[in-house]
Homo-oligomer: A and B are copies of this chain.
Amino acid sequence: MGFRLSRYLPILQWGRSYNGSAFANDGIAAIIVTIMLIPQSMAYALLAGLPPIIGLYASILPLAAYAFFGTSRALAVGPVAVISLMTAAAAGNIAAQGSDAYIMAALLLALISGGMLLIMGLFRLGFIANFLSHPVISGFITASGILIAVSQLKHILGIKASGQNLIEMGESLWSGLSGFNQPTVIIGLIATIFLFWVRGGLKPLLMRLGLKERIATIGARVGPVLAVIAGIVIVAMLGLADKGVKIVGDIPQGLPSLEVPEFDWPLWRSLLASSLIIAIIGFVESISVAQTLAAKKRERIDPDQELIGLGMANIAAGFSGGYPVTGGFARSAVNFDAGAETPAAGGFTAIGIALATLFLTPALYYLPIAVLAATIIVAVLSLVDIKSIRHAWQYSKSDFAAMAATILVTLIYGVELGVMAGVALSILLYLLRSSRPHYAVIGQVRDTEHFRNVDRHDVITLPRILSLRVDESLYFANARFLEDVIYEKALGSDKIEHVILMCSAVNDIDLSALESLEAINARLKSAKISFHLSEVKGPVLDKLKRVHFLEDLTGKVYLSHHEAIEALCENPFDVEMEFHL
Complex Cα–Cα for A96 and B430 (A): 42
CB contacts (< 8 Å) of A434 on chain B: these are: 473
Q: Mark A501-532, 1 if CB is under 8 A from B, else 0.
A: 00011011011101100010011001100000
Q: Are A527 and B134 in contact (CB under 8 A)?
A: no
Among the listed B131, B433, B487, B514, which residue makes an inter-chain contact with A300, where contact means beta carbons less than 8 Å apart? B487
Whether, in the assembled complex, A296 has its beta carbon less than 8 Å from a beta carbon of chain B, the answer is yes
Q: Are A515 and B134 in contact (CB under 8 A)?
A: yes
Q: Mark A247-261, 1 if CB is under 8 A from B, else 0.
A: 000000000000000
Complex Cα–Cα for A134 and B516 (A): 10
Interface residues of A in 545-561 (CB under 8 A from B): 546-547
Q: Are A127 and B436 in contact (CB under 8 A)?
A: yes
Q: Are A130 and B476 in contact (CB under 8 A)?
A: yes
Among the listed B132, B435, B504, which residue makes an inter-chain contact with A130, where contact means beta carbons less than 8 Å apart? B435
- Minimum distance in angstroms from A226 CB to a CB of chain B: 34
Among the listed B134, B472, B504, which residue makes an inter-chain contact with A476, where contact means beta carbons less than 8 Å apart? B134
Q: Are A131 and B395 in contact (CB under 8 A)?
A: no
Closest B residue to A131 by CB, please name it. Answer: B477
Among the listed B394, B504, B546, which residue makes an inter-chain contact with A394, where contact means beta carbons less than 8 Å apart? B546
Q: Are A511 and B476 in contact (CB under 8 A)?
A: no
Complex Cα–Cα for A438 and B539 (A): 10
Q: Mark A235-247, 1 if CB is under 8 A from B, else 0.
A: 0000000000000
Q: Are A391 and B547 in contact (CB under 8 A)?
A: yes
Closest B residue to A135 by CB, please name it. Answer: B511
Q: Mark A471-483, 1 if CB is under 8 A from B, else 0.
A: 1110111111100
Whether, in the assembled complex, A4 has its beta carbon less than 8 Å from a beta carbon of chain B, the answer is no
Among the listed B296, B481, B519, B546, which residue makes an inter-chain contact with A127, where contact means beta carbons less than 8 Å apart? B481
Closest B residue to A427 by CB, please name it. Answer: B431
Q: Are B507 and A504 in contact (CB under 8 A)?
A: no
**Main secondary structure on A side of the interface with B:** helix
Among the listed B134, B481, B491, which residue makes an inter-chain contact with A298, where contact means beta carbons less than 8 Å apart? B491
CB contacts (< 8 Å) of A505 on chain B: these are: 504-505, 507
Complex Cα–Cα for A136 and B479 (A): 14
Q: A473-B472, A507-B471 are in contact. Are A547 and B394 (CB under 8 A)?
A: yes
What copy number does this chain have within its complex? 2
Q: A295-B523, A543-B396 are in contact. Are A537 and B471 (CB under 8 A)?
A: yes
Among the listed B134, B391, B479, B546, which residue makes an inter-chain contact with A512, where contact means beta carbons less than 8 Å apart? B134
Q: Mark A439-457, 1 if CB is under 8 A from B, else 0.
A: 0000000000000010010
CB contacts (< 8 Å) of A480 on chain B: these are: 127, 129-130
Q: Mark A182-223, 1 if CB is under 8 A from B, else 0.
A: 000000000000000000000000000000000000000000
Q: Are B512 and A133 in contact (CB under 8 A)?
A: yes
Among the listed B431, B436, B437, B491, which residue makes an inter-chain contact with A131, where contact means beta carbons less than 8 Å apart? B431
A-B contact pairs, 11 of them (CB 8 A): A133-B510, A134-B476, A135-B511, A135-B512, A300-B487, A391-B511, A394-B547, A398-B510, A427-B431, A430-B475, A433-B508
Residues on A lying within 8 angstroms of B by beta carbon are 127, 129-136, 295-296, 298, 300, 303, 391-392, 394-396, 398-399, 426-427, 430-431, 433-438, 453, 456, 471-473, 475-481, 484, 487, 491, 504-505, 507-508, 510-512, 514-515, 519, 522-523, 526-527, 537-539, 543, 546-547
Since A131-B435, A395-B514, A430-B476 are in contact, a sample of 16 more A-B pairs with Cβ atoms closer than 8 Å, ordered by chain A residue number, is A127-B436, A130-B478, A130-B480, A132-B476, A134-B476, A134-B479, A135-B511, A135-B512, A298-B491, A298-B526, A303-B484, A399-B510, A433-B508, A434-B473, A438-B507, A504-B505
